Structure 1
Amino acid sequence: MKIGILGAGQLGRMLALAGYPLAMRFVFVDPAEDACAASLGETLQAPYLDETALQAFCERCDVATFEFENVPAHTAEFVAARRPLHPPPQALATAQDRLNEKKLFDDLGIPVPRYLPVATRQALDMAVRITGLPAVLKTRRMGYDGKGQAVLRKPDDLDAAWAALGAQPLILEAFVPFEREISCLAVRGRGGELAFYPVVENRHRDGILRLSTPQLADPLQAQAEDYARRVIEKLDYVGVLAFEFFVAEGQLFANEIAPRVHNSGHWSIEGAVCSQFENHLRAVAGLPLGSTAARGHSAMVNFIGSAPDTAALAAIEGVHVHLYDKAAKPKRKVGHATVTAESGEALAERVARLSALADAAEI
């Protein structure tokens, strides 16, 4: 089967690596000259709105998907009119706009922090009076890895935040004094079958994910699955969906969804019976889903800016290195490593060594 992927970044790369053992082949569309998945399939270098390239893309694939949520909605609709596209364009359009996302959560009875759309400087003042401080001002579109947002802790912060972000539609969210950040990865097949990975506890620094650790018996697993199921069924979703939550006073508050394979699921490559990447491909291709069970204790550490020495990484027992063939650049995800262990204690020791190498290599 020939799978078309809109986007040829590291997620597209890892999808292709998971699909080759299943005799799948790949075609990508990506505007970048140095797209890191390009070596793993036919790549059409073109803007996402180039309909000539999109037509050629459709002619070269049997089914299509996308690797990130900033693919233009028109692109998804163009492809969906010509080839099966999973997840559906509706999921993309919802996840691309934080206001649409929050409204969906409200409609489905999923708890969210108090939020208000903000279109003017005066509206920001009014919104702050309602949400109180601290609060987080975010762009409704395109923000990721800490970009496109500002934390407002005192009234004096409003002018600087507006100067930085106010040229585009915004949303103000009440700050959640969370104890943990977790994500729930779910996968749904074409026939409606559902499977869930263990919820993952995530640690960020500077808005960028650094460490993800699956929780093998988290008390909030069932609640996270219920909320993810509501979203997936409402959107008639096919493929992997990641749902990120804040945990405060033992309760879940929805943060955002990602309609794709997700950084917090990279542990599953070696840590689960069937990885998120293989399961996404199984879903979009109409194959039976694989087991989402964890193989044991595992974690994932991101490499930001620059990767540590490969020999030093390989010297740590249980470490599996995944480099993305991307040039070093500050705040860029250039790779990750998964680490597995026979016990929680051994995992913690290996994660500490791995994280120290990652921190020392960061630029």
Structure 2
Amino acid sequence: MVFLNSNFFVKPGSWLGLVGGGQLGRMFCHSAQNLGYKVVVLDPSDISPAVSVADLHIKSSYDDKNGLERLSSICKSVTIEFENIPFSSLEFLSKRNVLTPTASSVAIAQNRIFEKNFISSLNVDVAPYKVIVNKTDCDLIDHDFFPGILKVAKLGYDGKGQVTVREKKELKDKFVFLGEVPCVLEKFLSLDREISVVVARNLDGDCVVFPPAINFHECGILSSSVVTRSNHEIYDNTCFSEVCSIAKKIAESLNYYGVLCVEFFVVDNNIIVNEIAPRPHNSGHYSMDACFTSQFEQQVRIMSGLPLGNTELLSSSIMINLLGDVWFGSDGNLIEPDWRKLLSISGLKLHLYGKEEARRSRKMGHVTLLGNDIYDLDEKAYDLSLILGINYTKISKV
């Protein structure tokens, strides 16, 4: 790989490379352009969110050598928009460019089996799990391991590639349903809460963490994230200190450069790592409006050799995802959300991702509510949910 050191610097006005064209890439482009950089995006689509705002688009599959060579020739530094980039492509780029994160660290995060083994090797708890690579493995699992969640080892995200298994007799059929690819079966846990921590680690090994977010999900997809400067019953300072320490330990042990998200379960006051994502994360979107430095600006700073930014929280916030379901009425017909009514809520920031087609469960954008009083934000979030016709879990009832 290209040697990384503290003297590496890409000056503003230069090109930065990005592999992947989704909404995380779009927000990366905005941050890079704010700092004066030009962004070249390699992506096979003509209409992806990042492509529509990038300075240059290389239309190419992620494993096309010609596309990768062109990307590599334009910029010194390259990053990724999502983790499921072919490893061969990451290796190709790492020999020619500064690649953040490195191919080796992404390879671990790409595979749930590798990931869980790695985290366990650090003496950090993960949810009880079994590896399943064939039907015979299904027979070896005890009945008392159920109910559980069967997840494909690679290429799963946002609730895709995973199914609930209530009893052992269902396991083989569910394994076949997922394509008989290597999987991880996780024992179902009754959670106190879910927390995520975004870490930024630069080329010198310096590391900062963003304030932890408490997350709520609907149908396996993140629905809202809460971060507050004030005390609240669902916050536990001891717990938060520990998850931040674990997140930094994972980043340092991976020899990770870039932005990394670590998701945690809290079960009976025990902290368990759920999974890691080697990129900015949905639960860190609050940082765009509520922090001095966003997770996307950190991504730019790290790959350019700039100093890490201040992660201090300026405001309490509640981030709510806008899924494609918001664009469908009760009769199933497409409708336009009432943006004027939505934006009449004070302290609300709207971020839409520029996707041309709304589909159910598809992430179309998010809103961030900002203010000093978390209970006031909670009420505003509930009002927002009524306007959009979505479910919202009030933190005042947690």
Normalising to structure 2: TM-score of the pair? 0.87
How many residue pairs get matched? 360
Q: 2:271 matched to 1:252?
A: yes
- Pairwise CA distance, 1:163: 2.9
> Could you tell me which residue of structure 1 aligns to residue 219 of structure 2?
206
Question: Residue in 2 aligned with 1:338?
Answer: 368
Q: AA paired with 2:69?
A: Q
SS across alignment from 2:57 = strand
Give the equivalent residue in structure 2 for 1:179.
192
Q: Give the stretch that moved more between structures: 103-112 or 223-232.
A: 223-232
1:320 maps to 2:349: yes
Partner Cα separation in structure 2 for residue 74 and residue 311 of structure 1 = 47
- 1:225 maps onto 2:254 in alignment: no
AA of the residue aligned to 1:111: D
Alpha-carbon offset, residue 34 of structure 1: 1.6
Following TM superposition, by how much is the alpha carbon of 1:154 offset from its aligned partner in structure 2, in angstroms? 2.2
Correspondent of 2:88 among 62, 66, 74: 74
Note closer, same or farther for the CA distance 1:97–1:292 as it changes in structure 2 (3 Å cut). same
Work out the CA distance in 1 between the residues paired with 2:199 and 2:348.
25
Q: Which moved more, 1:162-171 or 1:330-339?
A: 162-171
Partner of 2:3: none
* In structure 1, distance between residues paired with 2:117 and 2:91: 22
Does 2:125 correspond to 1:111? Answer: yes
Whole-Å separation in 2 of the counterparts to 1:60 and 1:29: 12
Correspondence 1:1-363 to 2 at 5 A: 1-41=14-54, 42-129=56-143, 132-216=145-229, 218-219=236-237, 220-305=239-324, 306=326, 308-326=337-355, 327-360=357-390
Deviations 1:198-221 (A, max 9, x none): 111111111111101125464212
Corresponding letter in the other structure for 2:323: I
Q: Is the 8 A contact 2:62 2:89 kept in 1?
A: yes
Partner of residue 333, structure 2: none
Unmatched tracts of structure 2, length 5 or more: 1-13, 230-234, 328-336, 392-398
Whole-angstrom CA distance in 2 between matches of 1:300 and 1:65: 25
The alpha carbon displacement at 1:46 in A equals: 0.9
1:302–1:358 contact (8 Å) kept in structure 2: no
8 Å Cα contact 1:298/1:340 also seen in 2? yes
User: Secondary structure, in 3 states, of the residue corresponding to 2:98?
Assistant: coil
- The DSSP-based 3-state class of the residue aligned with 2:216 is strand
Give the alignment's Cα RMSD to 1 decimal.
Answer: 1.6
Give the Cα–Cα distance (whole angstroms) in 2 for the partners of residues 360 and 179 of structure 1.
Answer: 23
**2:340 counterpart letter in structure 1:** A
Asked if structure 1 preserves the Cα contact closer than 8 Å seen for 2:22 and 2:50, the reply is: yes
For 2:311, give the aligned amino acid: T
Distance 1:95 1:128, change over 3 A: farther
| 8 Å contact kept, 2:197–2:209 | yes
Letter in 2 for 1:46: S
Name the residue aligned to 2:394.
Answer: none
- Equivalent residues of 2:209, 2:248 under 8 A apart: no
Give 3-state SS (helix, strand or coil) of 1:203's partner: strand
What is the identity, as a one-letter code, of the residue corresponding to 2:304? A
Question: Is the partner of 1:40 in helix, strand or coil?
Answer: coil
Q: CA deviation at 1:358?
A: 3.8
Give distance in 1, aligned partners of 2:275 and 2:38.
31
Quote how far apart the aligned CAs of 1:341 are: 1.3
Cα distance in 1 for partners of 2:90, 2:179 equals 28
Identical aligned pairs, as a percentage? 36
Change (3 A) 1:99 1:215: farther
Greater CA drift, 220-229 or 198-207: 220-229
For structure 1, list consecutive stretches of 5 or more residues without a partner in the other structure. none
SS in 1 for 2:141: helix
Task: Give the TM-score taking structure 1 as reference length.
Answer: 0.95
